[in-house]
Structure 1
Amino acid sequence: MGSLEGKVAVVTGGGRGIGASIVRRFAAEGAAVVVNDLGATADGQGGDAGPADQVVKEVVAAGGRAIADGGDVADTATGQRLIDTAVSEFGKLDILVNVAGILRDRMIFNLSEEDWDAVIRVHLKGHYSTVRPAAQYFREQRNPDANYRIINFSSVSGLDGSPGQPNYAAAKMGVIGLTYSLAQSLAKYGVTANSISPGAATRLTGTVPDEKRANFRNEEDPSRSPDNIAPLALYLASDRSRWLTGRTLRASGYDVGLYNNPEVIRQLSSTGPWDQERLADLIEGNFRSVADGLPPSVFARQLGRN
């Protein structure tokens, strides 16, 4: 018996890349899967039902259960339909995985409003589109002992601040904030919420210029396969992960990591309003040495201020 036997999952962006790998792995472990994929280009243009249909055909041919949906996940009607389809076709919903995304890379000074809005729409609104009806369903079950799962997808682009992806970075850090909120608000309904920051050679990374994607240049390298992300997603979807919520994890190649959550690491306090010069002196005397020792100090080095 597979670790997801009897479970029902919805996976967005499930027609290609990381999403398709997750669909295949979930189905092989016994889950019935609603596979959503608009089939658009990497920058979100057009649509093609083929990718979702093809993955479903593979799953069914292997003896699994799956159904395709070619809707735009950033359309809230699509999000509602995916959850309704899971319940009507397979009887319930246990797992929601939000993978769908696009890229429109520009430096911030060259980034059009259209390209900003398009990326934010697919990533952030696309998560909202499915999470809201899924959360409503989970809440209606009134089962605090359930093992419901929400798995969102963030990116090292946001966590590290990719300079040529301000729209994508902002959206992916927004996903982390959403995940924190869901972990707190839905825990009493038996729901865990976590996010994955993946590293793999995919159709999207293939659009990044070679000089900016050295780690993904050799797409034939098995360590760069999207299939390497699926084991972490499978664990987070399983009953064993009940203890883990509100966290971001990294899967890249054959490495899996756990990110820390933001926290105050040093604090200054005053008994009244700050004198500006005193505050400046204390910040520099107490914060600078700590900040310079942290990874983000790379930003200060870019300005030659370290």
Structure 2
Amino acid sequence: MTGQPLSDAVAIDRFLEMMAAEAGAARNTIAAYRADLEGASLLLHRRMAGAGADELGGLGTAWLTLARTSVARKAAALRRFYRFLVDDGVRDDDPSDALPRPVGARGLPKVLARDDVEALFAEVARRVAEGGAGGGALALRLSAMLELLYGSGLRATELVSLPLHAVRPDQPWLILAGKGGAERLVPISDRARAAVAAWRATLAGGSYLFPSRTGHVSRVRLFQLVREVGAAVGIAPDRISPHVLRHAFATHLLEGGADLRALQAMLGHADISTTQIYTHVDGARLVALVNARHPLVDGARRGP
């Protein structure tokens, strides 16, 4: 130990203060971290802050009855906790390698193929051109929503709560306050700005870009709209949602060569490990790139 020993309660409080202030973690995230850390502290007889690898290894036995996803979440919280203690000078060692790593605990995000996305936008364009079921204004609203979900990777809550003039015709980006109040810069494509302008021209004013009688369109209604247009082009309801479109935004950007750190900033992830889950989609392209471009490949072809 490099600094003064801390009680678990003090160490947890300091860690959560850092998560809120520096990482921009949301209130629910903070509460989940606290529950996991306090539970581990109880299992470790309130000596978690100073625990060694042998003691942490015993947590795997205590967690045997839990689902793999729960074990993975708890272990991830402890790993981040011990990294904080090292960074803060409280410890000079990180014992978290002893924590269990359940195989396959974290599922891959659902991702729409490019053909699926093209079919969605073709259907929306048809509705805009023909007036669509329920009127032309509703088709324009749907177009603006999908362009922002897929073209900018907005979360459902961020989208429905956008102020009326958040997207400006002369500004190819907007600033969002995401989880935990952390601000991020979000790029807005020319297509999205045009779609928003067309929809906004149908509005008579108000506070929100996507208004309802009582405020703004609800997340539930957004889910219904996205799944309805998905069903129209043959995409099953369990394969599409606003968040799936956000996943598609991230996946297709990586396939196109986007930088992982830039993608982290655009998505508003506090931890890059959250963004790294999208790298699964690019494995084949990276293998092909190494096989085609790595300098040792040419040497192997030429032979000795």
TM-score of the alignment, normalized to the shorter chain, above 0.5: no
What is the TM-score of this pair, normalised by structure 2? Answer: 0.21
Q: Which one has more relative contact order, counting CA pairs under 8 Å at least 6 apart? A: 2
Q: Which protein has the larger Cα radius of gyration, Structure 1 or Structure 2?
A: 2
More strand by share: 1
What is the TM-score of this pair, normalised by structure 1? Answer: 0.21
